Structure 1
Amino acid sequence: MNEMVLSNARLVLADEIVSGHVRIRDGRILEIGTGAVPAGAQDCAADYLLPGLVELHTDHVEGHLIPRPKVRWNPLAAVLAHDAQIAASGITTVFDSLRVWPDKKAVGMDGDAPVLAGAIAQARAAGALRAEHLLHLRCELSTDTVSEDAEALMDAHEVRLVSLMDHTPGQRQFVSIDQFRAYYMKKSSISAEEMDIIVESRLDAHARFAAANRTRLVAAAHARGVVLASHDDATDAHVSEAISDGVAIAEFPTTQEAARLSHDAGIRVLMGAPNLVRGGSHTGNVSAQSLAQEGLLDILSSDYVPSSLLWAAFDLPRRESGISLPQAVRMVTKTPAGAASLHDRGEIAPGLRADLVRVALAGDIPVVRGVWREGTRVA
């Protein structure tokens, strides 16, 4: 029997904050107490104690694999560096969001998902991971072999989430083709002539592949019990399609209309934590804060900055007086866990996994002081 007590903490529970202690036994929360401090307890010095964060959508690992253009890092080393930063950010469950985007002209896209999935499996088998890593496939519908590539990954690995993406210019994230051109020309340092070719190619690929790929991927995910997410929904038609496909999560809706329709349909609305802490979308779409104001924000995701997830949980109640810290914390713990059918974590409650984060504040910025995954300290 392995037992530990964390005491003198501000426990962020589902609906309230209480001062007390948590007793952990064999990786599970045994009890929550507010009375006398048990002998041998670890003193948390009145810091906050939160459930371990649950991250559903982050491509952060890809930046470790390709830290500079034309530079490829050892995949296992990339995964371990990514994992260390994830754990240090208070994230105990992470869905590594791997691009399934078979485009041989796109540096860092073609072939990386199998390589990274294999490296994650290798690290897991070696017992080298701090956080629990699950797989999320970000499937670009307007590509020729995305369905067969994704199905191969689902058959080889335990994929838990699939998102249906379509970055064709002129819709969803980039309603304006000029906006698409400007964004990617700056990001990729390509010429206007090269961009003309890309736009024409993307439009052609959408017409040829998107509808069939969506139908096949939806069927493949449902057959394997994999949770589905839509991506960058903007219109009533997009949301109606998501409802028809049995989507559970709406990732980054680009308009308030799409967010409201998704929320009303019982689809969990996920927005980026960087969007919240920065005060808006970096591509000019709807802001996470405006959705929170309307009660339409369910889940926050760190997207590309792991530390933003914890920061957003503390920042949102400061921005919106109608949202409490426990409510904000649910957006990064219990709600994403439930949306992904992980009902054994996401809350400080007896019987659940002892995934915990000790947090102090430096001004308005949260500082991670300790992280436990199933009762074992990992950061």
Structure 2
Amino acid sequence: MSVALTLTGARVLWPDGLQAGALALADGVIAEAPQGRAVDLPGCTVLPGIVDMHGDGFERHLAPRRGAVRDLGAGLAAVEAELAACGITTAVLAQFWSWEGGMRGPEFAQRFLEALEHYEAVGTDMRAQLRFETHMLDDYGAFAGAVERYGVGYVVFNDHLPHDALDRGKRPPRLTGQALKGGRSPEAHLGLLRALHAQGGAVPAALDALAAGLGAAGVRMGSHDDRTGAARAAWQARGVDVAEFPETEEAARAARAAGDAIVLGAPNVVRGGSHTGRVSAGELVAAGLCDALASDYHYPAPLQAARALAGQVGWPEAWALVSSGPARALGLRDRGALRPGLRADLVVLDPAGRVGLTIAGGRITHASGEVAQRLLG
């Protein structure tokens, strides 16, 4: 049930900047006039809820140990609790549809989609992204069917095959670990990789058809780990207008020139660089080559990254990368800002900068510490 409250005494990040003022909410939306009980929050900061458009940290809750995946609903409840504690009000759960198998295989992807469809969230808007491995030619029909059946609104194309090693006839790195996670012998896994690699010539035409069908159905599409401007141009030609985690400045600039949304990893900003030696997200942000920062593999990272960037560019610009920017990239016009009529999605930081309150769709999803005490009177 949504609450009616008026938050007073705090700094509020309004569309025109960070200023003191009262923020009211009722019936699940931001209200124009005071509503319900007033809650005084001196020293706190009220910000739009975080919109996380790519995160796979949920995997740890669905399978804390290999094989422990019986009750996905309980796992999703734990996911929602972590999201709320991190100030995330909209979360896109990035589920693999991959040759890796196990939790990243097609069978588990469909179990995940089924569980998410039936999960009754406290308030967090949890939606699916399917990450499709492009060389799985035999899966194109089943994949498109799952997208339609479960109403998946966001698809990202991946190619994580170790092509360089396979081209040289070498044994790819981490083969044994990948094989065990997928429930295969290393020999069987290597055979699968070689077979997928060998059919690469048929992939572009298959992708053209798949992207055309998804685009016609209104599915938003993204590419992953683009390395060159030419690669980004190829995706643009298919109507794939989101560039997730471009690996080079060249690819990011190609996306910007075409007006595509650029998504970078918040952990990259927090770390001060990529853990794999690729382009620094902080440098791309400074160059104006970022529309959204995503949690990637660590849900606390969007808040941490915004806090780090706020010291450089100010709270409005930094927070836009985790709120209005990703909302716009996802086509969600009803959130991402604190404006009357929009969804009541917000996070309250206590005087120490910790998440003290998260409200999603007007529902309290997290409350702790001093803010919770004030809320409870």
User: Which SS does the other structure have where 1:92 is aligned?
Assistant: strand
Q: CA 1:279–1:360 in structure 2 vs 1: closer, same or farther (change >3 Å)?
A: same
| TM-aligned CA deviation for residue 198 of structure 1 | 6.1
What aligned pairs does 1:274-313 form with structure 2 within 5 A after superposition?
A: 274-313=267-306
Does structure 2 conserve the Cα–Cα contact (< 8 Å) formed by 1:76 and 1:119? Answer: yes
Partner of residue 369, structure 2: none
Q: CA 1:8–1:213 in structure 2 vs 1: closer, same or farther (change >3 Å)?
A: farther
Report the residue type matching 1:106 in the other structure: G
- Where structure 1 has 5 or more consecutive residues not aligned to the other structure, the ranges are none
What aligned pairs does 1:47-196 form with structure 2 within 5 A after superposition?
A: 47-101=44-98, 103=99, 106-110=101-105, 111-124=107-120, 128-170=121-163, 181-182=172-173
Partner of residue 370, structure 1: 357
Of residues 336, 347, 350 in structure 2, which corresponds to 1:357? Answer: 347
Of residues 327, 332, 347 in structure 1, which corresponds to 2:322? Answer: 332
- Where structure 2 has 5 or more consecutive residues not aligned to the other structure, the ranges are 367-377
1:42 equivalenced with 2:29 (yes/no): no
Does structure 1 conserve the Cα–Cα contact (< 8 Å) formed by 2:25 and 2:344? Answer: yes
Does structure 1 conserve the Cα–Cα contact (< 8 Å) formed by 2:223 and 2:240? Answer: yes
User: Which SS does the other structure have where 1:282 is aligned?
Assistant: coil
Of residues 193, 216, 231 in structure 2, which corresponds to 1:238? Answer: 231
User: Which SS does the other structure have where 1:98 is aligned?
Assistant: strand
Does structure 1 conserve the Cα–Cα contact (< 8 Å) formed by 2:52 and 2:295? Answer: yes
Of residues 223, 227, 245 in structure 1, which corresponds to 2:220? Answer: 227
| TM-aligned CA deviation for residue 194 of structure 1 | 7.8
Does structure 1 conserve the Cα–Cα contact (< 8 Å) formed by 2:242 and 2:261? Answer: yes
Does structure 2 conserve the Cα–Cα contact (< 8 Å) formed by 1:143 and 1:206? Answer: no
Once the two structures are superposed, what CA deviation does each residue of 1:243-290 show, in whole Å capped at 9, x if it has no partner? 211222100000010001101211111011111101121222111011
Q: CA 1:177–1:42 in structure 2 vs 1: closer, same or farther (change >3 Å)?
A: farther
Does structure 1 conserve the Cα–Cα contact (< 8 Å) formed by 2:266 and 2:305? Answer: yes
Distance 1:276 1:176 in 2: 34
Partner of residue 251, structure 2: 258
User: Which SS does the other structure have where 2:42 is aligned?
Assistant: coil
Once the two structures are superposed, what CA deviation does each residue of 1:165-219 show, in whole Å capped at 9, x if it has no partner? 1112247xx99989994466677789997886565344224344x2243123212
User: Which SS does the other structure have where 2:212 is aligned?
Assistant: helix
Does structure 2 conserve the Cα–Cα contact (< 8 Å) formed by 1:262 and 1:269? Answer: yes
Partner of residue 206, structure 1: 200
Does structure 1 conserve the Cα–Cα contact (< 8 Å) formed by 2:124 and 2:361? Answer: no
User: Which SS does the other structure have where 2:137 is aligned?
Assistant: coil
| TM-aligned CA deviation for residue 131 of structure 1 | 0.6
Report the residue type matching 2:104 in the other structure: M
Does structure 2 conserve the Cα–Cα contact (< 8 Å) formed by 1:32 and 1:349? Answer: no
Query: What fraction of aligned residue pairs are identical, expressed as a percent?
Result: 32
Q: CA 1:271–1:183 in structure 2 vs 1: closer, same or farther (change >3 Å)?
A: farther
Partner of residue 17, structure 2: 16
Does structure 2 conserve the Cα–Cα contact (< 8 Å) formed by 1:345 and 1:355? Answer: yes
Q: CA 1:15–1:151 in structure 2 vs 1: closer, same or farther (change >3 Å)?
A: same
Q: CA 1:345–1:180 in structure 2 vs 1: closer, same or farther (change >3 Å)?
A: farther
Distance 1:292 1:32 in 2: 37
Once the two structures are superposed, what CA deviation does each residue of 1:85-121 show, in whole Å capped at 9, x if it has no partner? 11111111111111122x3x63322211111111111
User: Which SS does the other structure have where 1:60 is aligned?
Assistant: coil
| TM-aligned CA deviation for residue 66 of structure 1 | 2.2
Distance 2:168 2:289 in 1: 28
TM-score normalised by structure 2 residue count: 0.87
Report the residue type matching 2:315 in the other structure: L
Distance 1:189 1:118 in 2: 25
User: Which SS does the other structure have where 2:356 is aligned?
Assistant: strand
Instruction: Tell me how many residue pairs correspond in the alignment.
Output: 361
Distance 1:81 1:133 in 2: 12
